[in-house]
Copies of this chain bind each other. A is one copy, B any other.
Amino acid sequence: MLADLVYKTILKDLEKRIFDNEFPAKKLPDERTLTSQYGVSRSSIKRALNVLANEGIVFKKRGSGTFVNPLYLKNRSLFNYEGSNLGVTDSMRANGKRPGIKVLDFSVIPATKEMQTDLFLASEDFVYRIRRLRLLDDQPVMIETGYIPIKIVPELSRTIVSGSIFNYLEDKKNQTVTKSFLSIEAQPSTKEDQELLNLSSNEPVGVMSGIFFLDDGTPFELSNMRLHYKYMKYNALVELK
């Protein structure tokens, strides 16, 4: 796919070598040696090593070298966190359960001031308002309200919206949603939450709201997801700089 980038090639090769236990002393060759071994610039080596370090696979010590994180080999599952694709059809299917979608609302409205700034729209632009209930094995798990600019997908229909919009984009329009900026919090459930998600009054919802971006950086969807609390689990590897 995109593996023709120099630093990615080296990244993958180093990763493989680490798992093949090619560095039993837990110490990688120094950067200058790697530079000449791979025949690339030191910047590319550093870039690859930085990715590995950020993923917790190696750690670096100035003056002494780059080392394999012993924990990574022994307890690899710990580091195999899912960057959390909650809210995407695919990640639900990955869970082994059968996903379902019930469209609660599909309409077109003028973009509010807030949407104009968040989605980079002009004042005369319109957006779809898409409200869906998501199910897993017929169990309701999430109320999703999304706003998508008409001009990005003018042909959107209720039928398309009954499935995965992201998959539609990828299959039919060759555009990919690769990034999102999400804000995650907990809230008491509202009456509507309780009815739609089968919650009792003391049970909360997890709220994930934010923007989904296309791979070219265009803000694509403004989304608000209210999840049954048992179905929200967000994993993250966090840097505490």
Q: Interface residues, chain A, CB within 8 Å of chain B? A: 26, 56, 59-62, 64, 67, 69-72, 74-75, 77-79, 81-88, 117-118, 120, 177-189, 201-206, 210-213, 215-219, 229, 232-241
Contacts and interface: CB of A to CB of B under 8 A. Distances in A.
Given A71-B210, A120-B75, A81 B240 contact: yes
Given A183-B234, A202-B202, 6 more contacts: A62-B216, A81-B181, A83-B239, A85-B241, A187-B229, A212-B240
Nearest first, the 5 A-B pairs at minimum CB distance are: A204-B204, A186-B186, A61-B217, A69-B217, A186-B206
Contacts of A64: 217
Nearest to A241: B84
A239 B178 contact: yes
A196 B123 CA distance: 47
Contacts of A81: 181, 238-240
A141 to B, nearest CB: 13
30 contacts: A56-B179, A59-B215, A61-B217, A62-B217, A67-B217, A70-B117, A70-B217, A71-B118, A71-B210, A71-B211, A71-B219, A75-B120, A77-B183, A79-B181, A81-B238, A81-B240, A82-B238, A86-B240, A179-B237, A179-B238, A180-B237, A181-B235, A183-B233, A184-B233, A185-B206, A186-B186, A186-B187, A188-B229, A202-B202, A234-B236
